[in-house]
């Protein structure tokens, strides 16, 4: 990953925090999941599309990304 703009950095933090909250993960677990699966690179690459959609779209897109990489996304809270 190259040097991110402040705007993209803020969105990456937003994405990690929203995903963490939606899935009931700790901050460390969410960050590890993002790092191990190159999700920060994915968010950087598709920032223009991702940031123009809502949070629910972002969560679903991350789950789809994980599934396409052969990983089972964590279940959400209460699911």
pLDDT, tens digit, 9 for 90 and up, residues 3-31? 778 899 999 999 999 999 999 999 999 99
Q: Which of 67, 54, 70 is nearest to 22 (CA)?
A: 54
Cα 46 to Cα 64: distance, rounded to the nearest angstrom: 14
Model pTM above 0.75: yes
User: Hey, where are the domains in the chain?
Assistant: 6-67
Number of residues assigned to the chain: 79
pLDDT, tens digit, 9 for 90 and up, residues 20-77? 999 999 999 999 999 999 999 999 999 999 989 999 999 999 999 999 998 878 887 6
């Amino acid at each position: 990953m190259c040097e991110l703009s402040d705007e993209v950095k803020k969105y990456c933090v937003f994405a990690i925090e929203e995903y963490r909250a939606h899935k009931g993960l700790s901050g460390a677990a969410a960050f590890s999941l993002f790092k191990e699966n190159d999700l920060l690179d994915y968010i950087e690459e598709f920032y223009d599309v991702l940031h123009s959609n809502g949070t629910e779209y972002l969560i679903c897109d991350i789950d789809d990304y994980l599934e396409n990489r052969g990983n089972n996304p964590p279940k959400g809270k209460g699911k």
